[in-house]
Amino acid sequence: MTRLSRRAVLRGAGVALALPWFESFAGRASAKVSPAPKRYVAIFIPNGAPDLWQPPAAGVGQNWQLSSVLEPLSALKSKTTVISGLENGSPFNADGGSSVQPSHGRLPAAWLSCVNAELIRQKTGVPDANGISVDQIIAAHPSFAGKTVVPSLQIGLSTVHSNCDGTPCAWSRSVSWDTETTPMYKTVDPTTLFNQLVGAGPGGPDAGLRRDARRSVLDAVRESAALTRARLSAHDKLRMDEFVDSVRSVEKKVVDGIISSCPTIPSKPNFPVVLPDGMRQDTGAYKKSVHFDLMNELLALALQCDQTRVATYMLEDERSEYVYDFVQKRHFEALTSVPVPGVAPEWHSGGQSGSPDDFATIVHWHVGKVAEFCQRLAGMPEDNGQSVLDNSIVFLGAAMHGQDHSTANLPSLLVGSGGGALKTDQHLALGHRPLRDLHFTLMNSVYGLGVADFGVDLTGAPIAIIDQLLTG
């Protein structure tokens, strides 16, 4: 009988379903135990965040508190680091100024590249041009390349093409860039993502199964699953049953057509169809919250089963104009918030330019959904005694500060320690520090890439590690 590897795959009828780590795998594998894989997930918030994002005081452990906007992360506070004082105006302004116009059109491209995309555009002569993003640098490094079936994932929740502020739309609709002229557009359709993760093409034999709610992709791997389950311990049998149930649950939601109104445009892969006014509100066929939950589940499964170790997740395109009238409005103080009469407005003009409570309500809701995603990762054990979250870095942030459209004091936080490389449970106030230093620190001090330089700083400040983040 073939020995179980540290990661098993269930195969059958065109399906390849990777399993998470089980204790039984470690017991039958080689005595030489490899380090648990490290993962990187960058989650992009459009339009910035309200000032109430920032905790009132810097500190560590009991000496700091989450702000009211970040309150949904309370259960994860011990695994979280909020970073204040990061700026990304230096790739644009030699005097260190924080104004970049048009901000919505230009700043998202710089969020993971820390370069002025306009200069790359002029150099290459290609309209859709930018610097290579940090996620793709990580994914291409020998310590990541070839280790997973999916080198990197790009996913999102956009349901309408955003206003591009007169700039190339790739700059505000994609934060991941594989080359200077290759934007990695995001997948917004859960069915497409599900098929990718189970190793099935759009016309594969299991595609028909998923159109029939009475059948499941799991039917194709039933024999393989039974053979694998027979070799597991009693405890792992229960965990495998839970995993199979979770896969079937996600699949059923896809089959039921909950997100059926997110088809793709052939001319622009991975973008939803745009109607005259776009899908700007919840409808009978589309619910933003359900879409968010399903993409969270699928991404968490991809990370748990080691299908990928690198992902970018755009909560929407920059300058999102989605109407959040399904979210109860809240009133915010520094550390607390309470529900009040009314609902949230449209994100850009109503939220970002409206009242602080409107803006905070929308961002608070998104932080809550990100917290749920991180909680999923925290509940997934790994063979080093830690969780998938412990071995990951989830970077949540925005390309602009907020209503002032400034590149100074960008909303930024990290959840997870990257396998123990980073300190957590702190609010770190850096004053005025280039965002590229954060990316440089993660690439070298967490993932060990040995990168000599990254991004651009026209002020002449040298790139440097942020030592306050590190445990060593």
Average pLDDT of every residue of the chain? 87
Q: Which two tokens stand for residue 455?
A: 């991004």
- In the 8-state DSSP scheme, what is residue 26? H
* Beta carbons of 41 and 241 less than 8 angstroms apart: no
Output the CA angle 409-413-415, nearest 5 degrees.
175
Closest CA to 330 of 342, 322, 347: 342
pLDDT of 277 > 60? The answer is no
Domain ranges of the chain: 41-182+291-469
Q: In the predicted model, what is the mean pLDDT of residues 394-402? A: 98
Fold classification of 41-182+291-469 (topology level): Alkaline Phosphatase, subunit A (3.40.720)
Assess whether pLDDT exceeds 70 at residue 2.
Answer: no
Q: What is the pLDDT of residues 236-249, one digit of tens each?
A: 888 788 888 878 77
pTM above 0.85, yes or no: yes
Burial of residue 255, with CB atoms counted within 10 A of its CB: 0-12 exposed, 13-18 middle, 19 or more buried: buried
Question: Phi/psi of residue 318, each to 5°?
Answer: -60, 155
Encode pLDDT of 161-209 as tens digits.
788 999 999 999 999 999 999 999 998 888 888 888 886 444 444 444 4
Please choose, from the candidates 289, 245, 295, the residue with its C-alpha nearest in 3D space to the C-alpha of residue 270: 295
pLDDT of residue 227: 83
Cβ within 8 Å of residue 177, ≥6 positions away: 109, 112, 113, 130, 131, 132, 133, 136, 183, 184
Torsion, CA 350, CA 352, CA 355, CA 361, rounded to 10: 90
pLDDT, tens digit, 9 for 90 and up, residues 437-458 = 999 999 999 999 999 999 999 9
